[in-house]
Structure 1
């Protein structure tokens, strides 16, 4: 074999080797840009082993049909040495900063068909994006507001709790104890109807609030966090015209009430 034949053979072998390198694929990608087994390279073999912090909004725009130029614009050049000509597989190392400032690292793969348009996309781990921690949303509980009918707690014009009233307030105390009362302030407010002297109504409403407070304390609510208020007939719910009569007394029942509010000392709510 003369010199020229040897040189020609070397060129052919070299060209085949170069072409092989240019079209290298580790995931056995078919003409449709699909694979039954996506294979991810070792991160240590990356040309850019530090990876990149990808723009998540750009990543969400990745879809079949994108050209390599479009993929490049969205997520940059691949991080591994996959070749240069008609490469059907691009691999990346992506980092995601989470709300708690920790970093989640995943590998990402794009497969191209024979027309060099992107068709398949893979993550390792597969659930990479779902692992991203959602921002912690503080759970704000609604302020506790309880309201009890005065008629269910007291006899008419009385500040002494009835047997039914004792039962209601005991149950209320148990509900309060089921929640943490640290940093809380409990406000018990008594209300009466308009019948009678306004000053005496205010005194009655406060006395009723004190009776509820005493029962709460007996059932384990710290006396130091309880405040009592007597509003008398200053905040009516209903207006019932006429002088005192059984019908008017019944009509005014919604005004005879006891309210309990649990207030957060720090927020005032």
Structure 2
């Protein structure tokens, strides 16, 4: 009898200890399922320290008011030995495949209120799901040329003056260190004519400049050409085609050359 009595007492005590352990909250979660300081456990203490690849569509469905059963259905059991009953926080280790096929690992926490409904969600790091931004390219040089000094009207063939200007540009580029540099040549036209043809003309002019730069020793691999046609006018000159309107639209007929440093921001 005494043995049974002591065994029953030990069972009660262990149950109380277990219950208190289950209701313990390392993040000091209040009855509303909120905390001012979410505490993430050491990943090495996880039951699944390698984590798992979570279904992103399921993760997007995580919201306040979900029951533990619903959370379990969406993202699985927690990766730490935190228990189920009366536990106010579940922790996970999730893996996400990045655009470059690398894998990013983050921790994820769900907090429950006193009714065991999900109320708060946290990532560590907090920006886990933000897409990495490409480093900004620092502009090393910007040069603008009047298209009329390079080409005859509606032509993509370099004039003698245009040849001289591009030849000088090539010499200027070669005098600089072009390692990790990117050359962007952009052509623009005025609004006179067909927009599609203007787009083609602006690109053909940029290609003519690239061809001569390449012939003068600038690597073709670092040169990009763009044709924007009449899509970015500098001035607006109303009226139909006439010598006066064509002269007014001259600032819109231009070529720009930009040298950018592709290592800037790394």
**Distance in structure 2 (CA, Å) of the matches to 1:3 and 1:151:** 106
Cα contact 2:111–2:121 (8 A) shared by 1? yes
User: SS at 2:15's partner residue?
Assistant: helix
TM norm structure 2: 0.53
How big is each residue's C-alpha offset from its partner over 1:145-195, in whole Å with a ceiling of 9 and x where there is no partner? 974279999xxxxxx97xxx68x9638954996698x999xxxxxxxxxxx
2:42 aligned residue: 42
The 3 A distance-change label for structure 1 pair 177 and 112 is same
**Distance in structure 2 (CA, Å) of the matches to 1:14 and 1:239:** 94
**Computing the radius of gyration over CA atoms, which structure comes out larger, 1 or 2?**
1
RMSD between aligned residues: 4.9
**Distance in structure 1 (CA, Å) of the matches to 2:31 and 2:151:** 82
TM superposition shift of 1:38: 1.1
Q: Where in structure 1 are there 5+ consecutive unaligned residues?
A: 137-143, 154-159, 185-212, 226-237, 241-249, 263-269
Output aligned runs, 1:139-218, within 5 Å: 147-148=147-148, 170=165, 174=169
User: SS at 1:129's partner residue?
Assistant: coil
Cα contact 2:111–2:118 (8 A) shared by 1? yes
Cα contact 2:167–2:216 (8 A) shared by 1? no
Output aligned runs, 1:88-107, within 5 Å: 88-107=88-107
The 3 A distance-change label for structure 1 pair 221 and 60 is closer
TM superposition shift of 1:57: 2.8
Q: Where in structure 2 are there 5+ consecutive unaligned residues?
A: 136-143, 154-158, 185-208, 219-239, 248-252, 257-266
TM superposition shift of 1:52: 0.5
**Distance in structure 2 (CA, Å) of the matches to 1:57 and 1:70:** 14
Cα contact 2:65–2:117 (8 A) shared by 1? yes
Cα contact 1:21–1:83 (8 A) shared by 2? no
TM superposition shift of 1:118: 0.6
The 3 A distance-change label for structure 1 pair 59 and 91 is same
**Distance in structure 2 (CA, Å) of the matches to 1:134 and 1:150:** 37
How big is each residue's C-alpha offset from its partner over 1:89-122, in whole Å with a ceiling of 9 and x where there is no partner? 1100011111111111111100011111110111
TM superposition shift of 1:54: 1.3
How big is each residue's C-alpha offset from its partner over 1:108-143, in whole Å with a ceiling of 9 and x where there is no partner? 10001111111011111122122x43689xxxxxxx
1:133 aligned residue: 132
TM superposition shift of 1:23: 2.8
1:54 aligned residue: 54
1:75 aligned residue: 75
1:33 aligned residue: 33
The 3 A distance-change label for structure 1 pair 70 and 172 is farther
1:17 aligned residue: 17
The 3 A distance-change label for structure 1 pair 224 and 174 is closer
**Distance in structure 1 (CA, Å) of the matches to 2:20 and 2:145:** 75
The 3 A distance-change label for structure 1 pair 224 and 26 is closer
The 3 A distance-change label for structure 1 pair 177 and 63 is farther
Cα contact 1:32–1:119 (8 A) shared by 2? yes
How big is each residue's C-alpha offset from its partner over 1:27-67, in whole Å with a ceiling of 9 and x where there is no partner? 12111011122111111111111110112232222221122
